[in-house]
Every structure is written in structure tokens, then in C-alpha cells.
Chain A
Amino acid sequence: MKLGFFTREASRALRRNAAPSFAALATVLLTMLVVGVFIPIVQATTGAANDVRKRVLVDVYLVRGATQPDIARVRAQLLDTVNVKRVEFVSKQEAYQQQRRKDPEAFALLGENPLPDTFRVTPENPDDVLKIASALAPEAAGGGRTPIDRSIDEVRTRRDDTSKILQVTRFVKLMAGTLAVLLIAASIFLIANTIRLSLYARRREVEVMKLVGATDWFIRWPFVIEGVIVGALGTLLAILLLAIGKIAIIDPLASDFSLISAPETMPFTVLIAVMLAAGVAISAIGSGLSLRRFLRV
């Protein structure tokens, strides 16, 4: 009976204050629309950045004339090293084929295969590349590097490329994160402010209710339920628009752009659930908290 009463109070307030309610609804709708577009973009960007980081490798070149047992022994040693996720062997023939495909004319001039056998070592975490390199070839006192195995000719990290990639992707992730935080903060402020405006128009009403002997929560519940209704309606409309946009625009393009189909974007259903929860929670808590000022009578 109590819940029914509060819900009826809330819907009465919504009907009798159509204009401010509509303003609050529009605010929720717009911010949720922006959030709904932005979350996948942030995720796709960081996903793409992570993809790039995955390509950071350590190349281990073997000495010319390394035998099968040598190769097996080095593979075992590499697998034993900390932070190593995956070890891939590229034989000199394979490397030759790959390179020749890239630049047939240059390789036509070469008489024989100049490439060594190579191990491509994928690190557990891209930031550990340099650690792996120094584990495989510790720096000697003289300044040069001595590999841990006599069959290893050289260990290379493409140091310049690596640090550049790490730097850029870190920056991209940081920017995306900052933007996301700012956007969420702006949405909360915007929604809370709109709610406060519509409450301000009704502060006299709250005052009268207090004078009649209504407890704080008796006054507050209808406002909270009102916030839930407004938040849910606004978010549902935003989701509807997003779904239309997704079906009409994004899905046809998804096959052509790797960013849109980035594997780390959350599925649409999860996005909907997150948005709905956030919209309802922000509006309800916002109206409950904003009311606090007017309850001090």
C-alpha cells in the first residue's frame, strides 16, 4: 500500500509538472546518448592500442649453421625464461620466403639465403620486453652483450620501435580514460542540476509537507521514484536511438573497419544494462540527495 501510494504521488507530480519533468528526461536522454556512443569508442580505441602492443616482440637470431639439437636447446631455454608467453620459430627458409614476397626484386639479386634462423618471443606483458632481452643476453662488463647460449647470435628488441609504440599506446589509453571520467562526471552534474531545478520549483510544497508532519522519507520516496521513472524513460529512449544507429549505420560498416569490430568492445546487451543501471541510479540518487537541502525546515 505504501509503495502504491508513493508511486501514485510520483506519477501525479510528473503529470502536474510536465515541463520540468520533460527537461530532466531530455537531459538524461542526451547524456545517455553521448555516453552510449562514447563507451564503445573508448573501448575500441584502447582495444586497438592493446592490439598494437601485442605486436611488440623480442627477436632471437641464431648463429649460422645452428643444428637441430641447438635449436631445440635454445627453444627450451627461451621457454624457461620468465615473462615469456609464446615462442615462435621461424626457420631461415620461412624467413626468406616471407621477405621475398615483400620485395621480390631485391631478393632476386641475392644468390643465397642471408637470413638466420629466428625465434620470435612474445612477452606476457609488452612492458617487459626489455627485461626479457637482458635476461637472454645480459650486459657484459665491457658494454657489449653476451647471449646465454653459444648458438644465439644476437637478441634484438627493436628498441626504438618498441618504446615508441609503448609510449603512444599508453598516451591513447590515458586520454581515453580521462575523457571517459570527465564525461561521466559531466553527465552526473548535468542530471543532478536539472533535477535540482525542478525540485527548486517545488520547495514550497516540501515545506508545507514538513509542516503537516511528514517525515523526511515520506516526502523523499515519491521524488526518488520520480527520478527512477525519469531516468528509466530517458535511458530507454537513448538505448532505442542507439540501437537504431547501430543497426542502420555501424553494423553495415563493421566488416570494413577493424576499429568498429575491435574484439574488446563490450557486447550491446551489456552496454544497455550498464546504461540503464547508471541512468536510473544517477537520477534516483540525484533527486534524493538534491531534496536534502529543502528538507531542512
Chain B
Amino acid sequence: MAVTTSRSRTPQRAAAPAAVPHRARPAAPSVIEFRGVEKRYDVGAVGLDQATFSIGRGEWAFLVGSTGSGKSTIMRLLIKELEPTAGTIVVAGRDLAEITHKRVPYYRRNIGVVFQDFKLLPNRTVYDNVAYALQVTGGTRKEIRAKVPDILRLTGLSTKLHNYPDQLSGGEQQRVAIARAFVNHPPLLLADEPTGNLDPETSIGIMQLLYRINRAGTTVLIATHDNAMVDKMRRRVIELSQGRIVRDEATGAYVRDESTREFAVRMRDGLPDTPPTVEQR
């Protein structure tokens, strides 16, 4: 279902991005909306303080800030691993406070999540790791057999289907994690420090993959402290410091319709000349 909508939307946006009507604020509800959200931990530490922002459909946004500034708190609030102490979080028009504990798994299926430490299931092959995300939603065997090789081809893992996570490089593991997050074609993808453990060249590969997913219509929110990367991307940046939002801006030239290849070229610009095969070690 999500596949068809995102596919049909892609060319439309490519043709006239600014004119797409539902990008106008009040008409179309944004995918993520934080209203005065506050999170205090039991020990008295402040995770998030009066955070208010919203992210529109199909948008790409960075969350930046030093460690402990509240980036991960926002991510964990969004997957309802934590409950805010005050304020409202609305995701795709639904107030998270109204989702009962029982419905949380069903809610999470609409969100792809990527972590710094990959969080793959160590006892499963690449194929089974991705398939698990479909099995959880009750996907049939036929569906799994059709979708999983597809998404693994998209992420460039076709040759590693039957490897276990500990047999893969960091970049490859992160690709598996992204494949798993995206196999259900969720409307929203969260990435918490997706390149935190990876070298620059591999990071670009991961960002390229996320960019491709974003171009397919998925809203992408990335928490990172890789400032060089953020500067090059020239996308919306929300900066946090000690739980407060201190900056929220869509930086300069907003390059909307770059092809994935152009994107990669621009990202590599200025990087010391590394052969593009580094990742295939």
C-alpha cells in the first residue's frame, strides 16, 4: 500500500516540487509534530525541554548537537520507547499519547528505525534479518520471497544473503539495518547516528542509500554529530543543546531534485581521493 503511494508521488514532485499543494502547512498535517514536549528523567536530568517543531511529508531533516543534547531522546520518544513528561507528539496525525501499550508494536511498523550499533539479530542471516520485519507484520512466505531480495538488491547486498551479521563489515551491517527498516516501505524513517561507527567513504554510501529512500517519498529524520556531512547535505537542520532547540533552519541552497548520482558526487567533493571500492573490502 505504502509502495504505490510513494511511487506515484515521486515523479509528481520531480516535476514541480514547489507547487505540490500538500506541502502547504495548514492544509496537510506534517508527519512529525512536537508541541512543547518535555522529558525529564527520574534522576532529575533534563532530556528535552519545551521542544516544538514539525517536519513535513517527504522532508529530510538533521538533528544535530553534542552528546546528551537530546537527539536520542527525540528518537526514543518517536518510537514510543519513552513517554514525554509534558507536551504533545503527533505522528502522521496521531497523538502518541493515545496509542495504548498494546498498540505500540503496530504503530512501530509504520516507522523504520536505524541505529548506530545496527541492532541486527545475531542469530539470523542477512536474508532472515530483513525477512523478520515482514514476518512480524504477518507477511506471507510468497510476499517475503518477493520483497526481500528486491530490497537487498537496492541496498547492494545481493551477494551476502546468507551471511551472518558478524561476517559483514560495519557498512554492510548498516545497509542490512536500512534494508530491514525500509522493507515495509514506512512513511517515516528515523536514523540515530547511522554513520557514527563508519568511515567517511562508507558513510557517504549510507547517506546515498538514505537519500534514495527519501526520494521515494519517505520522510527521513537523522540524528548525527557529523557536521561536515550536515554542511554538505544542505538540508534542514535542527540543533539541540541541553535539551533545547537552539537552531532550526533550512540551510541555503536547498537542492531538491538531485539524482542519487549527483548527490554522491557532491558529497565526495573535497574528500581525499579514495577509490570508490573501499567499502567492498
Contact = CB atoms under 8 A, between A and B. Distances in A.
B141 to A, nearest CB: 8
Contacts of B119: 204, 207-208, 211
Interface stretch (A65-73, A212-220, A265-273): A212-220
Contacts of A218: 105, 136
Contacts of A1: 140-141
Contacts of B57: none
Interface stretch (B106-114, B207-215, B239-247): B106-114
Interface string B113-138: 10000011111000000001101110
Nearest to B141: A1
Contact of A212 (B107, B132, B140, B141): B132
Interface residues of A, number: 20
A208 B133 contact: no
Contact of A213 (B81, B108, B121, B140): B108
Contacts, number: 48
B96 interface: no
Interface string A194-225: 00000000001101111111111010000000
B235 interface: no
A124 B23 CA distance: 91
B123 A205 contact: yes
Interface in A1-32: 1, 5, 12-13, 16-17
A297 interface: yes
A213 B123 contact: no
B136 A211 contact: no
Given A12-B123, A16-B123, A205-B121, A211 B79 contact: yes
A212 B180 contact: yes
A5 B144 CA distance: 13
Contact-residue size bin, chain B (C-beta under 8 Å from the other chain): 20 to 34
A209 B136 contact: yes
A210 B106 CA distance: 10
Given A218-B136, A297-B81, A213 B105 contact: yes
B123 A210 contact: no
B207 to A, nearest CB: 22
Contact of B135 (A5, A16, A204, A205): A5
A214 B136 CA distance: 5
A207 B123 CA distance: 14
Contacts of B105: 210, 213-216, 218
Contacts of B120: 208
User: Residue among A16, A17, A212 with the most chain B CB within 10 A?
Assistant: A212
Contacts of A209: 121, 132, 136
- Best-surrounded residue of A16, A205, A207, A211 (most CB of chain B within 10 A): A211
Interface of B: 79, 81, 105-109, 113, 119-123, 132-133, 135-137, 140-141, 180
27 contacts: A1-B141, A5-B135, A12-B123, A13-B123, A205-B122, A205-B123, A207-B119, A208-B119, A208-B120, A209-B136, A210-B105, A210-B108, A211-B79, A211-B108, A211-B119, A212-B108, A212-B109, A212-B133, A212-B180, A213-B105, A213-B107, A213-B108, A213-B109, A213-B136, A213-B137, A215-B136, A218-B136
8 tightest CB-CB pairs across the interface, nearest first?
A213-B109, A213-B108, A16-B123, A214-B136, A215-B105, A208-B119, A213-B105, A212-B133
